[in-house]
Each structure stands twice: as C-alpha cells, then as structure tokens.
C-alpha cells in the first residue's frame, strides 16, 4: 500500500474520523504484549524495528549492525518474517536458489551478508539460527512481535517524516503509540537530516543512507528511467537527482510491488524511447525476474553512522553480547 497523504499532515478531519479505530488497534497491541510471555533465545537477540508503516531503512540498518557485530569479533545471523513469504516453518534462505516471491525481497538482501532465516514463528527461527552457531541474532523488523525476547532494540526513525501526524493506523502511520514503543527500546537511530522530539529519554544515534560509489558512478550525469516500489520512492528519485542524474522518467509503485514481465517490458521500452538508463533500488532489483535483471541497473545503498554515533553503537552492542552469552 502507499501511505495516505493525510498521515503526514497536521491532524485533520480524516485522521479525526479514523482515530477511534487507531485507539482500538493500539489497545490490541498493548494487550498482546501484556498477555504474551516472550521466549528467551539461546543467543542474544538484537532487534531493528520502527514505529511507523513504510520505509525507514530498517533492512540497511540491520545489515550495518550485523557488519559492526562481525567487526567486533562475533558471528551474526539474520532473522526475518519475509514480507509476503510463502513459507510456514523456519527456513534458511539460499540467495542462489530462492526467489523474492517465495521468501520476500528483504531476506534475499540480508542473505547476501550473513546466514539468514525466514520464519513467521520468531522463536523457532531463532532456534534454527542458534543451531548454526551464530553468536547474535539480528532481527529485521519484528519489534511489535512479542513472542521472542529482545536483548537490545534499536528503533529506526526517518528524521524528515518523524512520526507523521502522531496517530495509529488507520488514522496515521504509527504501528503503536510512540511512548509504548520507545518504552521497550534501548536506542533510536535517526536516519537522515532533521530533528524529532521523543517522549522518552533514550540515546539517539545519527545515520544516513549513502549510495555505493561503484553504483553511483554508473548513473552520475546520465539520463535515467527510474522506478521504485519501496516505502518512499520519492527519496530514491531525489537521491538520483542529487547524484547528478537527469530523470527522464520516475515511476513510483507500492512497497514490495511484484513486477510483472509486461510491466517491465513497458518500462524498458519507455527507457529506450527516452534514451535513458533503467535504474531501480537494490530491493526492487531483487524482485525482478532473472531475465530482466541484466537489463536494469540497481543503486545499492549503505548505512553510515556519524562519528559520534559509531563508537556508541558499538559499545551498546558489545555490552549486550557480553551480558547475554
């Protein structure tokens, strides 16, 4: 789905009409947390979550945290639900065999960096990862799922959009009330430029999504036909412009959009007519059928913490891993 525009406007009539449904949604979440006894995993669990619907950069942050864990001398593994995954039990993702329509796009991105388990049952997934001798489970999302105990939780927040109008689904973009979610977190990772006010005192770390230079060089000063089915496609298009690319076409799609061959043929024909290079995000590229991947360029991104935040993040991770061995 694409986020309604009123979610990111000051609370207006639409939000007021829907706010009672948001109260019910938030209350149901609080009850679920209150009645569920989380299962403790055999290895430390570090959760990368957010409080809003839509893209905040959770998956790139999860990859960055896993890389920091590895640099500290520990073996990480990823645990994810896999949006739209057609599986029932926990499974290890094989990026050479599995397709996005089977396991989801994010698990394939994660599996390129470390052993990845896709599981609707989070405790079962953590057990499978523990059997593979990982020393830290990095959860991509699942912050609102109370079934698996978390030892360290980072909440990722888009610095530009913040918490929108402050309302819970469907009146706003929040998955739960801000104060409820932050009460279970140990730190906030603020992505991009901007400031937000938090109702809870927590460490705030700053980070940005940076294009991988190798990919950026291929689109810099080029005419591009861009398309993206992510939480905020406009940010991807803006990144291309900031790199010096000229947008001959910018086609947004809903998050996790499953591209059909006829759509891709139309996109490629449009790009050829405009004399432009077809380009998309890595997350979209992984959802393309193999026959189209070599015809479209992917712009990969990485998370870069600022100088003050990087050592503080490492300190939190180290403390968590040593205390929960």
Task: State the average pLDDT for the chain.
Answer: 93
Judged by DSSP in three states, 125 sits in helix
Residue whose entry in the numeric block shows the structure tokens 């024909």? 269
Q: In this structure, are residues 276 and 259 in contact, taking their beta carbons and an 8 Å threshold?
A: no
Model confidence pLDDT, tens digit, residues 176-235: 999 999 999 999 999 999 889 899 999 999 999 999 999 999 999 999 999 999 888 999
Convert the pLDDT of each residue in 241-281 to its tens digit: 999 999 999 999 988 898 999 999 999 999 999 999 999 99
Cα dist. 172→83, 183, 205, 256 in Å? 21, 20, 25, 20
**For residues 160-172, average pLDDT:** 93
Q: Are 245 and 219 spatial neighbours (Cβ–Cβ below 8 Å)?
A: yes
**Domain extents in the chain:** 31-208+304-323, 213-299
Predicted TM-score (pTM) of the model is 0.93
Domain 31-208+304-323 listed as CATH 3.40.50.300: yes
Classify 91 as helix, strand or coil.
strand
């Amino acid at each position: 789905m694409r986020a309604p525009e009123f979610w990111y406007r000051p609370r207006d009539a639409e939000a007021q009409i829907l706010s009672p449904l948001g109260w019910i949604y938030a209350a149901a979440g609080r009850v679920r947390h209150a009645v569920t006894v989380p299962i403790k995993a055999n290895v430390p669990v570090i959760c990368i979550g957010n409080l809003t619907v839509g893209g905040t950069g959770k998956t790139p942050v999860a990859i960055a945290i896993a890389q920091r864990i590895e640099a500290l001398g520990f073996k990480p593994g990823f645990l994810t639900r896999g949006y739209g995954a057609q599986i029932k039990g926990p499974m290890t993702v094989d990026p050479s065999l599995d397709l996005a329509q089977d396991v989801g796009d994010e698990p394939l991105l994660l599996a390129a960096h470390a052993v990845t388990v896709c599981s609707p049952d989070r405790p079962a997934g953590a057990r499978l990862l523990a059997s593979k001798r990982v020393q830290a489970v990095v959860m991509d999302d699942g912050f609102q799922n109370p079934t698996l105990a978390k030892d360290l939780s980072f909440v990722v927040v888009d610095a530009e959009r913040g918490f929108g109008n402050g309302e819970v689904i469907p009146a706003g973009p929040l998955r739960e009330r801000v104060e409820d979610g932050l009460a279970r977190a140990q730190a906030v990772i603020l992505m991009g430029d901007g400031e937000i006010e938090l109702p809870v005192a927590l460490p705030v770390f700053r980070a940005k999504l940076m294009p991988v230079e190798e990919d950026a060089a291929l689109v810099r000063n080029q005419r591009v036909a861009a398309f993206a089915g992510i939480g905020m496609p406009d940010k991807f298009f803006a990144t291309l412009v900031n790199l010096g690319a000229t947008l001959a076409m910018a086609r947004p799609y809903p998050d996790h959009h499953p591209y059909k061959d006829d759509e891709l043929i139309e996109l490629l024909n449009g790009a050829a007519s405009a004399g432009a290079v077809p380009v998309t995000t890595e997350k979209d590229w992984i959802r393309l059928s193999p026959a189209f991947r070599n015809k479209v360029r992917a712009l990969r991104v990485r998370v870069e913490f600022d100088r003050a935040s990087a050592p503080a993040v490492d300190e939190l991770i180290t403390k968590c891993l040593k205390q929960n061995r």
